[in-house]
Amino acid sequence: MNAIARDSKVLLALNKPKGYLVTRSDDMGRKTVYDLLPEWVFHDEWMPIGRLDLESKGLLLFTTNGQIGNVLTKPRGCIKVYEIWVRGHVTDAHIAQAMRGVESKHGLLKALVVEKIGFGGAKTKLRVQLNEGKNRHIRRLFGALKDPKFGTPLKVLNLTRVSIGSFELDIESAKWRYLTLEEEQKLLGNLN
């Protein structure tokens, strides 16, 4: 980790529930992730590394070290893994297309890896890996694909980020903790 200037306690993790914005404040008075964290996190200017939309949940990292934030968010810098439930039948052709990519007004949207991990009625559970992320990337990617039975767009019903790099979510919903020095070194060691 020679290339990254270190402070003590440079990363903390939050398990973000649905219904919280990833922002410092909201003009409309909606709940933000800072409502889940101690007040000093806001005042000491801990910033989220990346985003999760209002309806998404799961792992969110914070840091006061801008260099670490940049390393973890740069394109191709760090693999992020999500578990999602999709309304509609996801076929092998859908998975291949998601990994080849779909052009959109937001640029090329694609997944590094997509795996089926479960089924339930008219829903499919997938594990999706991204090595870059655009705004609402996964929702837009799967929304561009059609259900073969009904011809309607696939819809992501539930999205949970379960890991960022080597760090896997192990915290209850709405709880937070510091990463240990070992976890930080493992996460950042491969990215310098």
Q: Which residues carry out catalysis?
A: 53
Contacts of 94 (CB under 8 A, 6+ apart): 142, 145, 154
Residue recorded with tokens 């896997």: 168
Are 192 and 8 a contacting pair, CB within 8 Å?
no
Backbone angles phi, psi at 173, to 5 degrees: -55, 135
Backbone angles phi, psi at 126, to 5 degrees: -130, 155
CA-to-CA distance for 126 and 119, rounded, in angstroms?
A: 9
From residue 26, give the alpha-carbon distance in Å to each of 21, 33, 36, 136: 8, 11, 15, 19
